[in-house]
Amino acid sequence: MVSARDGAAMGREPKDELFRGLAAHIPDALCICDSGGTVRYVNSAWEGLTRRPLAAGDAFGKTLAAIHPHDLPELLQEMGRRPGGGVDHECRVVHPDGAVRWVRGRSFRIGDAASAVGQVAWLVHDITERRDASTTVRQMAHYDALTGLPNRALLHESLGRALEQARVHGWTVSVLSIDVDRFKSVNDTFGHAAGDVLLQQLSSRLLKCLRIRDTVGRLGGDEFALVLVTTGTPDAARRVAEKVGDVLRQPVSVTGGRVAVTVSIGVAVNEAGSVDGPTLIGQADVARHAAKSGGGDGYRVHAPGAENGALSWPMAWRPVARMGNASRRQT
C-alpha cells in the first residue's frame, strides 16, 4: 500500500527529472533562486555563457560580477523595481579573459503567485550576433564603405541636429562643400586603386581639421562636406576653408609614386538660423561650383547677390603644380 506522502514523492520525481532534462538541453542560460537570493538550480549553459562557475547554494549576487560595470547600475535598478520577476533587460557580459557578449535577460516567478515563499527564474539569451548584424546594417546605411566617414544621409541628419542646437544656443553653422580638382587625372595616371588610397588619406586629414562639434562626410566620388559649429563670427568658416585647402594639398604616397592635388571649396554660413539644412548645402555647392569654374585651388563664400551666387575671398594657400603636372616618382 502506498501512502499519500509516498505518492506525492513519486509524483514529484518524474517531474523533477523531466525538468532537469529539459533545462539541461535548452540553449539559453537558466538560473532559479529563492526569495532570499540563493541559487537553487543552474544549468550548464549559464557557465558557458558567462564563463564563470555558479552552483546551487551560491548567492545569486555572485552572477553580477559578470555584468559590464557600465551596464550594472541600470540592471540593478530594474531588478529593484521588479524583485519578484518581470525584468526584461539587455546588457553586456564580460568574460574573465575580457571578451564581451551582449545578452538579454528575463526574470519570471515560479509557483503560486499568492505564496509567501516564491522562486524567481532567470533566462538569459546571447544576442551578440543579432546586435552585431544590426550594427553592420547601420554602418552600411550611414557610413561610406571606402573612407568610413558619414555618408550623405547621415551628414544631413547631423546638419539638422546642428541647426537645431544652433537656434537654441545662438551658434553659427557653416557648411564647406569640397571637391578634388582634376581627380580623374589621378585615376588615369595611377589607377583607381591609387585614387581610393588618395580619398582615404584626404578623409583622414579632414578628420584632423575638425573640432568636437564638427562633422565631415563623403557625399560620393571625390566630394566631401564639413559641417562647422562655431560660437564666433563667419570668419571662422573661412579660416577653416584655408586650413583645409592647405592640409589637403600636401603630397600623398600612392602605389606608383606621390601625388599632390588641390581642392575647390564652397562656403555657406547660416548666421540667423533661418536656413534649413538642404538649402545650406545647396548654397555651399553653388559657391563650390563658382570656385571650380574660376580654376579651382581656392574657395568662395556664398553670397546670393553676387555673380554666380558666390564671392571670391583672398587666398593664403601656397601655389602648387596643377594635377596635370603632378610629380610621379617610381617606387
Residue 309: give its domain's CATH number: 3.30.70.270
Identify the band that residue 315 occupies on the pLDDT scale cut at 50, 70 and 90. Answer: very low
pLDDT band, very low/low/confident/very high, at 261 (cuts 50, 70, 90): very high
Instruction: Give the pLDDT confidence score for residue 311 in this predicted structure.
Output: 56
- Residue 105 confidence (pLDDT): 93
- 111 with 195, same domain? no
What pLDDT is attached to residue 112? 57
Domain span at residue 81 reads 4-133
Same domain, 124 and 202: no
User: Tens digit of pLDDT for each residue in 66-123?
Assistant: 999 999 999 999 999 988 889 999 999 999 999 999 999 999 988 755 554 578 999 9
Same domain, yes or no: 189 and 277: yes
- Tell whether 165 and 106 lie within a shared domain: no
Is 314 domain-assigned?
Answer: yes
pLDDT score for 312 = 47
Higher pLDDT, 142 or 61: 61
162 and 242 in a common domain: yes
Write down the pLDDT at residue 118. Answer: 75
In this structure, are 58 and 126 located in the same domain?
A: yes
| 74 assigned to some structural domain | yes
Of 7-11, 198-202, 262-266, least confident by mean pLDDT is 7-11
| 84, 153: one domain | no
The confidence band for 22, taking pLDDT boundaries of 50, 70 and 90, is confident
Residues 158 and 262 placed together within one structural domain of the fold: yes
Residue 86 lies in a domain: yes
Please give the tally of structural domains in the chain: 2
Residue 330 lies in a domain: no
Average of per-residue pLDDT across 187-204: 92
CA 110 centroid distance within chain = 40
Domain boundary among 90, 113, 133: 133
pLDDT of residue 32 exceeding 60, the answer is yes
For residue 41, is pLDDT > 80?
Answer: yes
**Are residues 29 and 147 located together in one domain of the fold?**
no
C-alpha cell at 191: 589607377
63 shares a domain with 14: yes
- The CATH number of the domain holding residue 84 is 3.30.450.20
Residues 35 and 105 in one domain: yes
Region of residue 192 (phi > 0: left; psi between -120 and 50: alpha; otherwise: beta): alpha
Q: Record the cell numbers describing residue 56, joined without a space.
A: 546551487
| Distance (Å, whole) CA 223 – CA 194 | 17
**Whether residue 79 sits in one domain with residue 204:** no
Per the domain annotation, does 122 fall within a domain?
Answer: yes
